[in-house]
Amino acid sequence: MKHPNITTLLAYCWSIDEKLLIYDYIPNGDLATAIHGKAGMISFTPLSWPVRLRIMIGLAKGLAYIHEYSPRKYVHGDLRPSNVLLGQNMEPHITNFGLGRLAKVTEESSSFQLEQITTDTSSLQNSPYVQRAASSIAAAAPCYKAPEASKVARPSQKSDVYSFGVIMLEMISAKMPFSRVGSEEIDLVEWFQISIEERKPIIDVLDRFLAPDVDMEEEIVTVMNVALACVARAPERRPSMRCVCDNLARLA
């Protein structure tokens, strides 16, 4: 599959001892780090609202291609910020697409790993997004899974839409997928729903680094409403990714 917002497989090696997938080096780390930073970072530059919106639009286009425009109508099944890499101009590249099936094939291995490979292997350890994941990489993190995921054997396109919606809410609020309210932990979707029910002002749900962009409140609220539609509890109420792309493109 070839799309500007999907990592392109350059080569692979399949042998008894190891299985390698080789992609272009993508320099700006993953979306999770861009939103939250990570331990040991010397400096952290928060994303402006225009950059966040551009990432959301690119991510929507890539996922819509997987769902609608590819030779077969595929499902990603493991969409989360750590599986979105950011290019030279902070354009998003969806990665780990198709690795769910590969992980099942290799699940007898106790250390199924994914690493970014570069021509200069000495810089590998300094890469901002070297990923080393156990064989459970095939399963999406629980907080990004749709409510129906525990009841069905296979992920669906509608479950991808839900995961995309959670990522949008995370980019808007910069909150972790789980938040603590008093002595209880709630997921990000529930936190947003409570905030709306309590009629909290938009500034209370925004990432504090977006304060300079608060004059774009109308646009931010429109994006938030798209995200909330994506995380509807009933799968049939969620929009298609093509519809999401159309709605976000109007803002661009």
Residue in 17, 24, 30, 78 annotated catalytic: 78
Helix (H) or strand (E) holding 63: helix 49-64
- Packing angle, helices 217-230 and 157-173, rounded to 10: 150
Strand, coil or helix: 107? coil
- Which of 62-66, 132-136, 175-179 reaches the highest mean pLDDT? 62-66
78 vs 120 pLDDT, higher one: 78
Mean pLDDT of 26-34: 94
- Chain segment 35-62, per-residue pLDDT in tens: 998 877 777 889 999 999 999 999 999 9
Q: Is 78 an annotated catalytic residue?
A: yes
Cα separation, 125 vs 22, whole angstroms: 17
Other beta carbons within 10 angstroms of residue 172's beta carbon come to 25
Cα 161 to chain centroid distance, Å, stands at: 11
Phi and psi based region of residue 210 (left: phi greater than 0; alpha: psi -120 to 50; beta: remaining):
alpha
Q: What is the pLDDT of residue 37?
A: 87
Which domains are assigned to the chain?
Answer: 28-95+140-251 (1.10.510.10)
Read off the pLDDT band of 252 (50, 70, 90). confident
